[in-house]
Structures are given as structure tokens and as C-alpha cells.
Amino acid sequence: MLLIAAALCTVILTVTGILITVLPGPPTQDGHRLPELARGHGIELGVAVAVNPLVNDRRYRNVIEDHYTSVTAENTMKWQHVQPERGEYDWSGPDTLVDFATARDLNVRGHTMLWHNQQPAWLSQGDWDADTLREVVHDHVTTVMDRYEGRVTSWDVINEPLEDHGPNMRENLWYDVLGPDYIAQTLYSAHAADPEARLYINEFGIERAGPKADALHALVTDLVDRGVPLHGVGFQGHFVHGNVPDDLADQMRRYTDLGLEVTISEVDVRIPEPVTAEDLAEQRREYHDILVACLEVDGCVNVTVWGVTDAHSWIPEWFPGYTAALPFDDSYRPKPALAGMVEALSRRPRPRTAATRA
């Protein structure tokens, strides 16, 4: 009996050893390395944040705290929310976001001062002359930036100044009343309000070569030549699966060659339904390549994912039939895209030259 028992113990130990060798261990926590890896490259890895889930969903907060180094206000700093009535400001949403970030040593990007969407009715439907509207814009920019001076380190001051699909200036409220120089005027107001903040023009459709990319480059070159206080350009990066451009780094270098910073400011990669495992594997490569493009460009300082999880993504509402655009799914589980980001940032850091424009 003793011999049989000893033999059984030997078999059990042998099988146990084989199982320990063959069966996978607990899930890796590589995603939690993202902040450390991003800082090792000298860049920020950001995420767009909505106030309601930030306040009410612990899982939402955990994803932000564990995986990112900066946050952008997805909506709460837009004019409609922050100044819903003329001269009456609602700081509840922006304060919540900024206080959350400050307590966790996360940088904050402000989004956005002037945009053609999400304006309050008093502004969009007002009967404005140039002098009055210029004063309204200056007061808004000054009031908001004064409140968050030193806590919001960069601002998308001008958002989407060009037409959606063309190279022309967008005929919006600002352009129609103030003329094309509204961009320079607003940048001067922003710089006077917070001289230390980094000021950006943020645009989509400039991520690959084409007329719109050339038009924005011409606009920005003119501002730089005139000495207007502009520090960077944001490439929004709302990509369709299978169409992430391979010349993204080249397009960003056009601006760093001017002495400006660049960011990839609103990244998502939407997939047409139904989403397959192959789609998600390819999306992993796309997120990897987007981050690598930033790492290859001296002066690319931030990559921001536009949303915390697919459960809170803007994509299904605005692009019916598309989904799964973010690195976390509807249930807050990491997708292959997150591993692609880790892989990109795990490459050996190389010396990077910062943008030179003060």
C-alpha cells in the first residue's frame, strides 16, 4: 500500500508540474504599464473623459487612472456647457474633471474654445456685429482660461476651422462676422489670459496628404510667419478600420519643421458591423502604428484616445453601423488594441528633440 501511495504521489506531482507548465497563468497587467512607458518616451498618453461616468462609475475611473497620463474634456468645456447663458458660467463639469485630474497628477488638455458646434442658442442665434462678438469671444476665452491657469496646460483654441471635406475656410459664426483673422485674434486673447498654456489648432482630415492638409499647413504657416502665439496642431485621428494613413508621421513633420508641437488628439478606429476577431487583430496593429507614428516625430507630445470604453463612445450615434472604436469594450475589458499600444510604447526610447517655438 505504501508503495502504491508513493507511486500515486509521484504521478500527481508530475501531472501538476505539467499543468503548471502548460496552463496559462493569470491575465497579464501589461496595460497598466502604459503610463510608465509613455513617460519613458517623453510623451503623454491621454483619454477623452465624460463627466457623468467619471462621477458615477468606478470602473470608468479605474481605466483612466490605470492607463493614461492626461485627460481631455470630451464635452464639458465646450461653450454650450460652460456658458449656457450670456455671462453665466457653469463650472460644475469642468471643475469636476480638473479636480479629478489634479488629485491624480494627470495633465489636462482644454477642449475647446471656438467651434461651430455645441453653441448655446444665445450665441448661435444672436444678431452680432464684429465689435460686440469680438468682445464676447475675448471675455469667454479670458474667463475660462483665467479659472484654469496653471491646471490646464494646453488648449484646443480653434477647432475645425476648415470645411469638412475641402480646403476652404469654414463659413461659421466666427468667420462670417469677424472674418478669417478671427483665428489670430482668439489666439492672442488666449495667450494674454495664460501665457504659459500651449495653444493649438485642432483639425480632422489632415492626417494624409491632400488639399485639406495643404490648406491647413498654409494657414498655420501664415500664422507662424506673423508671430501669432500658436504652439501646436492637433491631428484628430478619427479613423476607419483599414484606412489609417501610412503617411501620418510625414504630415506631422510638416508642422514640427515650423517649430510647432503636434498631437494625435482624438484617436479612435471605428469598425463596420459585424465586428470579427480578425478585425480586432487588425485594429491592434492600427493602434500600434498610430502610436509609432508619434514616437517617430520629434515634437509629437501627446496621443489621446477619444473615449474610455466602447460603452461611452460617440461613434455608434454619429456613424450608424460602426462600432468597437476604442481599446476597451462595452464591458470595460481590454481589447487587442490595448496590447498594440503597449507593444508600440515598449520599443526602446530614442532621443527626441522638443519643439522650439516659445
Residues with a catalytic annotation lie at 160, 266
Instruction: Give, to the nearest 10 degrees, the angle between helix 182-193 and helix 130-147.
Output: 30
User: For the chain, where are the E strands, in sequence order?
Assistant: 44-49, 70-73, 107-114, 154-159, 198-203, 232-235, 238-240, 261-272, 300-305, 322-323
Secondary structure of residue 26 in the 3-state scheme: coil
Which residues have CB under 8 Å from 172's CB, separation 6+? 116
Q: Decide if 187 contacts 219 (C-beta within 8 A).
A: no
Residue keyed to cell 449656457: 84
Q: C-alpha cell of 277?
A: 476577431
Write out the DSSP string of 193-215: H-TTSEEEEEESS-SSSSHHHHH
Element (H, E) at 12: helix 2-22
Q: Cell 501627446 appears where?
A: 302
Q: Using alpha carbons only, give the angle 158, 89, 127 rounded to the nearest 5 degrees.
A: 65
